[in-house]
Amino acid sequence: MLATISKEFKLLLRDPVGFLLLLIMPGILIIVMAVTQDSSYKDLQDIEFEVAIANLDKGKTGAEIAAAIDKSDKFKVKELGTDTTGLAALVNKGDIKIAVVIPANASAALVNVSNKIVNAVSSGSGIPSVFSANAALDSVQVELYIDPALKPALKNGFRFALSQYTTQVKMNTLMQRLGNMSGEGATMDTLLVQQMTNALSLKESQDLNAGGHSMPLNSVQHNVPSWTIFAMFLIVVPIAGNMLREREEGSITRLRLIPGALQKSTLGMMLFYVMVCTLQFYILILIGIYILPLFDLPRLAMGTQPWHSFPLVIATSYAATSYGFFIGTAFKTANQAMPIGAVSVVILAALGGIWVPLEILPRMMTSIANLTPLYWSFNGINNLFVRGLGFGSTLSSIGLLLLFGFLLTMLSLFITKKRTT
Q: Is the pLDDT of residue 366 over 50?
A: yes
Average pLDDT, integer, range 216-222 = 80
Mean residue pLDDT of the chain comes to 78
Range from 128-137, 185-194, 376-385 carrying the lowest mean pLDDT: 185-194
pLDDT digits (tens, 9 = 90+) for 265-279: 778 889 999 999 999
Residue-wise DSSP of 287-338: IIIIIGGGGT-PPP---S-GGGHHHHHHHHHHHHHHHHHHHHHH-SSHHHHH
Q: Bigger pLDDT: 90 or 210?
A: 90
Q: Is the pLDDT of residue 300 over 80?
A: yes
Q: Is the pLDDT of residue 50 over 50?
A: yes
CA angle centred on 219, ends 215 and 69, rounded to 5°: 70
Average pLDDT, integer, range 247-276 = 74
pLDDT the model gives residue 309? 94
What sign results for the dihedral spanned by CA atoms 194, 200, 204, 207? positive
Q: Bigger pLDDT: 277 or 242?
A: 277
Beta bridge partners of 200: 140
Cβ atoms of 27 and 166 closer than 8 Å: no
Cβ atoms of 99 and 145 closer than 8 Å: yes
Cβ atoms of 170 and 199 closer than 8 Å: yes
Q: What span, in angstroms and rounded, lies between the C-alpha atoms of 170 and 106?
A: 10
Q: What span, in angstroms and rounded, lies between the C-alpha atoms of 42 and 48?
A: 18
For residue 311, the tally of other CB atoms under 10 A from its CB is 17
Residue-wise DSSP of 185-244: S----HHHHHHHHHHEEEEEE--TTSSS------HHHHHHHHHHHHHHHTTHHHHHHHHH
Q: What one-character DSSP code corresponds to residue 356? A: S
Three-state DSSP class for 77? strand
Q: What span, in angstroms and rounded, lies between the C-alpha atoms of 256 and 14?
A: 25
Helices (H) and strands (E) in the chain, counts: 17, 5
Q: Is the pLDDT of residue 295 over 50?
A: yes
Q: pLDDT-based confidence at 128, cuts 50/70/90?
A: low
Q: Which of 176-180, 246-250, 293-297 has the highest mean pLDDT?
A: 293-297
- The answer for 94, left when phi > 0, alpha when psi is -120 to 50, beta otherwise, is left
Q: Is the pLDDT of residue 345 over 80?
A: yes
Average pLDDT, integer, range 17-36 = 63
pLDDT the model gives residue 199? 56
Beta bridge partners of 312: none
Range from 83-97, 179-193, 205-219 carrying the lowest mean pLDDT: 179-193
Q: What percent of the chain has pLDDT above 90?
A: 22
Q: Is the pLDDT of residue 338 over 90?
A: no
Query: Please, what are the domains in the chain?
Result: 2-38+218-420 (no CATH), 49-205 (3.40.1710)
Residue partners of 346: CB distance under 8 A and separation at least 6: none
Query: Could you tell me which of 411, 416, 410 has the C-alpha nearest to residue 252?
Result: 416
pLDDT the model gives residue 217? 72
Q: Which of 30-39, 80-89, 129-138, 248-257 has the highest mean pLDDT?
A: 80-89
pLDDT the model gives residue 186? 44
pLDDT the model gives residue 406? 96
Which secondary-structure segment (H or E) carries 168? helix 152-179
Average pLDDT, integer, range 242-264 = 68
pLDDT the model gives residue 124? 57
351-375 b/e (C-beta count within 10 Å ≥ 16 → b): bbbbeebbbbbeeeeeeebeebbbb
Range from 112-116, 282-286, 313-317, 370-374 carrying the lowest mean pLDDT: 112-116
Distance, C-alpha 41 to centroid of its chain = 14
pLDDT the model gives residue 347? 82
pLDDT the model gives residue 177? 67
275-310 b/e (C-beta count within 10 Å ≥ 16 → b): bbbbebbeebbebbeebbeeeebbebbbbeeeebbe
Q: Is the pLDDT of residue 403 over 70?
A: yes
pLDDT the model gives residue 185? 42
